[in-house]
Chain A
Amino acid sequence: MAEKPKLAIYWAASCGGCEIAFVNLHERFLDAAAAFDLVFCPCLLDTKRREVEALPDGSIAVTLFNGAIRTEENAEMARLLRKKSRLLIAFGSCAHEGCIPGLANLSGTDQLLRTVFLDNPTLDNPQAILPAAISPVPEGELTLPPLLDRVRTLAQVARVDYAVPGCPPEPERIWEVVETLARGGELPPPGSVIGAGTLSVCDDCARKKGDKRVERIYRTFEKCPEPETCLLEQGFICMGIATRSGCGAPCPDANMPCTGCYGPPEGVADQGAAMASALGSILDPGDCRGLNEEEIAQRVASLVDALPDYAGTFYKYSLAGSILGGRVRR
């Protein structure tokens, strides 16, 4: 029997949803597990790292890497797995674009530690202790991996062959990828997104689209959407227009706007910029004849002020991988 291709599944800063999505292949999960020799799975830390290091370079056929790069340790593992793997795949939104953990880039790591450990309603920390890389204890020394100054995507620390988008990737799409890899099927040029479409979520969304003119932005709690019309046309910030297809548009189907977890469509570099641009052409300040410049500016401002968090809305999943990257720091 031919040797099965070696597969590694590693997670960095993530929630575990990518693994659960994998298990949600349900009965096909056992087929997927049988097609590969799962060499490194679940997590490869410290001691286990030595065993990975001992492997010949390129001896792992595929590494599915999920999770963002939050700590030094995450970055080290990314570089190590790159070296040992013939294909390194950014699996899921965190590895691909930074995802929700990447929102931490809107402030600094110092601020993050202060908020969690020093300024919090349930703290009992009179000595203002912060977690430290090295802590002396009576019996010896304990270590923690330090946080990086900002969250990075996998591609920002290692060369990535492919990205599978989604938070998490839908099981149907995972199956396509796993099945292709298992039979050694043809893959697109390196650097491509796989396991997704190339168009936008709107192309999969069953809601009726018509005239895209929005006179007012509504937040999801402000009104009940009409069940069959495009949510964006109803004034909700639905990110579908700036988001890659592949998920099958389940969120609009459940009467909630797309929040953009599949990242930008093919050919779009920056999801948030794409959404800003789309909104710019859709927002309608109404009849401005006879208004002076200041009045027009005021009217536009009142339109856009209805959404007090553009960064978190437009870049919810893609901040770390975006052109902006996060807040500018000294």
Chain B
Amino acid sequence: MNRISIDPITRLEGHGKIDIFLDEAGDVANTYFQVPELRGFEQFCVGRLAEEMPVITNRICGVCPEAHHMAATKALDALFGVEPPQAAHKVRELLYSAFFVTDHTTHFYALGGPDFIIGPDAPPAERNLLGVIRKVGPEIGRQVIDCRARNHHVIKTVGGRAIHPVAGLPGGWSRPITKAERDEIAAIAEKNVQFARFTLKLFDDLVLKNPQHLDLITSEAYTHRTYYLGVVDPANRVNFYDGKVRVVAPDGAELMQYHPSDYAAEIAERVEPWSYLKYPYLKRVGWNGFTDGAESGVYAASPLARLNVSDGMATPLAQEEFERFFETLGSTRVDGRYTPVHFRLATHWARLVELLYAAERMRELALDPEIVSPKLRAEPGPVTGRGIGCVEAPRGTLTHHYEADARGVLTRVNMIVGTTNNYAAMTMSVRRAAESLISKGRVEEGILNRIEMAFRLYDPCLSCATHAAVGKMPLTLRIRSASGAVIRTIVRQG
């Protein structure tokens, strides 16, 4: 049996490794997507002071520490049985919106977007931020850098630090916003709205008006009919900061809505001996292997999933884009809600709809008179024993679950992080891409990027801007015979 290894694939939450096995006929027999990294937060957080979790769990991911900080802080609200003042919720959500703007921007311009802006088959040295600058003009490079800089400035102002913020407390937030800071933040939010609209226009011109790109997006190679999961507000609209978890079936029917604190009744995680990452699935449906369809508990939690589970967006401009998204991709309204879009590459577009929502929501919050309230803390009560906090991270639903003794010392910790939700779906996407590109032992030269595209659309987490921006993402693909001898090597230099 022949074997193809792609190692490293790119950076997710750890290194990744793909093995593709070919059968006797030279077709894909199976693919394995391994995560060979484990730090074990669930173990070493036990014994820690519960209130330290927003700072400790920041270090799960330096790309999205804000998400962990927020999930941890909300878990502490529950653990200490305290409801923060409304103003504190707003300040948290303001920081969180700025974070979504910078994170989604980075992804579109530096990580996933270049596949479309430059083209999926362009040389890798071109498919990066510098290539985008060459194609769209130097002004765009400056705009992207400005966008990241101004939103990290907001994160530092509101959260104390630009990376690994510190202000989250059970029952509130440590640092009020001054009026002068509010004015600055409101101006930044306005720029963000304009920037998001510009970005959607760019996507329209370069991708949607290009029939080849549109064909690629809607091709079967990048389509999976799975369940979708995401947080919605009381009106069933997308919400990143708070709400109930809604799950819809492949046909769009609502399977359930549950309170995040009931997550363990609905989600289970499978273990495979060849990976340090677990595979979550929907317990109500059950595990049915790496398969699509209504019989398989595999689900996706991503920008695409969030749009698919929602009735709409809570801000006007994003709502317009939401409708255009579903109409363009052939979705129909059933009982007032669009049927799900299963084209996984449409996740890039969904991300931009969310970018616009995040910018609009940030503007609303910045202009809310309560945002400058000095009173951001409510007094925590005694430890309740258990606290579960949930937010939407850019890459999917993030859940932190803490149990603590009466002194507030942690006795048990569990987390299901954004990327992990999608592990089974990513595995399937990699397999489908491989199947569509490999036949009779013939490996298309474009396989490296096409497979990269299959997982990059879910999660750029640590395929971070550092590398993609300078065009260095070296990949080596080996095809080996059953004896282990390398019969072919494809190297893509950065």
Chain A residues close to B by CB (< 8 Å): 9, 13-24, 26-27, 29, 33, 38, 41-43, 45-48, 70-71, 73, 99-101, 103-104, 106-107, 111-113, 115-117, 120-125, 129-132, 135, 137-140, 142-145, 147, 167-168, 171, 219-221, 224, 250-251, 253-256, 259, 261, 307-309, 311-313, 316
Contact = CB atoms under 8 A, between A and B. Distances in A.
Contacts of A38: 470, 472
B218 interface: no
B407 interface: yes
Contacts of A250: 156, 160-161, 166
Contacts of B52: 259, 309, 312-313, 316
Contacts of A21: 62, 163
A38 B472 CA distance: 8
A100 B62 contact: no
A47 B269 contact: no
Interface in B59-95: 59-63, 65, 76, 80
Contact of B32 (A19, A130, A137, A308): A137
Given A23-B466, A139-B30, A103 B271 contact: no
B380 A221 contact: yes
A73 B36 CA distance: 10
B461 interface: yes
Interface stretch (B114-122, B200-208, B233-241, B408-416): B408-416
B8 A48 contact: yes
A107 B466 contact: no
A130 B48 contact: no
B15 to A, nearest CB: 6
Given A21-B163, A131-B275, A221 B470 contact: no
Contact of B167 (A16, A168, A256, A313): A256
Contacts of A220: 51, 169, 174
Contacts of A313: 49, 52
Nearest to B175: A254
B273 A130 contact: yes
Interface string B255-270: 0000000011001111
Contact of B464 (A20, A221, A224): A20
Contact of A125 (B19, B271, B470): B271
A312 B29 contact: no
A219 B263 CA distance: 30
Contacts of A70: 37-39
Given A33-B470, A221-B51, A168 B174 contact: no
B65 A121 contact: no
Interface residues of B, number: 101
Contact of B163 (A20, A99, A138, A311): A20
Interface string B170-183: 11001100000000
A13 B37 contact: yes
17 contacts: A20-B464, A21-B163, A24-B152, A27-B142, A27-B145, A41-B467, A41-B472, A42-B473, A124-B269, A131-B274, A135-B274, A137-B274, A168-B163, A221-B171, A254-B167, A255-B174, A308-B407
Contact of B62 (A17, A143, A316): A17
Contact of A23 (B10, B142, B464): B464
A117 B414 CA distance: 11
4 closest A-B pairs by beta carbon, nearest first, are A17-B62, A254-B160, A139-B21, A47-B476
A73 B215 CA distance: 41
Contact of B34 (A47, A111, A142, A167): A142
A219 B51 contact: yes
Contacts of A100: 44, 56, 59
B325 interface: no
A111 B37 CA distance: 17
Contacts of A13: 37, 39
A122 B408 contact: no
A223 to B, nearest CB: 9
Contacts of B281: 124
Given A123-B269, A132-B273, A256-B167, A15 B62 contact: yes
Given A140-B21, A312-B47, A24 B42 contact: no
Given A129-B272, A135-B274, A137-B274, A104 B40 contact: yes
Contacts of B474: 48
B22 to A, nearest CB: 9
A47 to B, nearest CB: 4
A251 B271 contact: no
Most buried by A among B40, B167, B407: B40
Contact of B47 (A43, A45, A309): A309
Contact of B36 (A20, A71, A137, A139): A71
A19 B466 CA distance: 6
B105 to A, nearest CB: 12
Contacts of A307: 49
Nearest to B466: A19
Contacts of A115: 40, 42-43, 46
Contacts of A46: 5, 7-8, 17, 476
B65 to A, nearest CB: 7
B174 A254 contact: yes
B153 to A, nearest CB: 10
Nearest to A107: B43
Contact of B470 (A41, A45, A132, A256): A41
A313 B47 CA distance: 11
Nearest to B106: A23
B271 A24 contact: no
A118 B450 CA distance: 36
Most buried by B among A13, A20, A167, A254: A20
A145 B482 CA distance: 22
A256 B160 contact: yes
A279 B251 CA distance: 62
A240 to B, nearest CB: 13
A220 B32 CA distance: 45
A195 to B, nearest CB: 15
A148 B22 CA distance: 33
Contacts of A121: 264, 401, 412, 414
B32 A18 contact: no
A256 B17 CA distance: 40
B276 A144 contact: yes
A117 B276 CA distance: 9
Interface in B387-414: 401, 407-409, 412, 414
A100 B476 CA distance: 32
B169 A221 contact: yes
Contact of A120 (B39, B59, B80, B414): B414
Interface in B106-161: 142, 145, 148-149, 152, 156, 159-161
B32 to A, nearest CB: 6
Nearest to A34: B470
A33 B19 CA distance: 32
B462 interface: yes
A135 B42 CA distance: 24
Most buried by B among A22, A73, A123, A144: A144
A315 to B, nearest CB: 11
Contacts of B268: 122-124
B51 A139 contact: no
A312 B267 CA distance: 31
Contacts of B278: 117, 123
Contacts of A111: 43
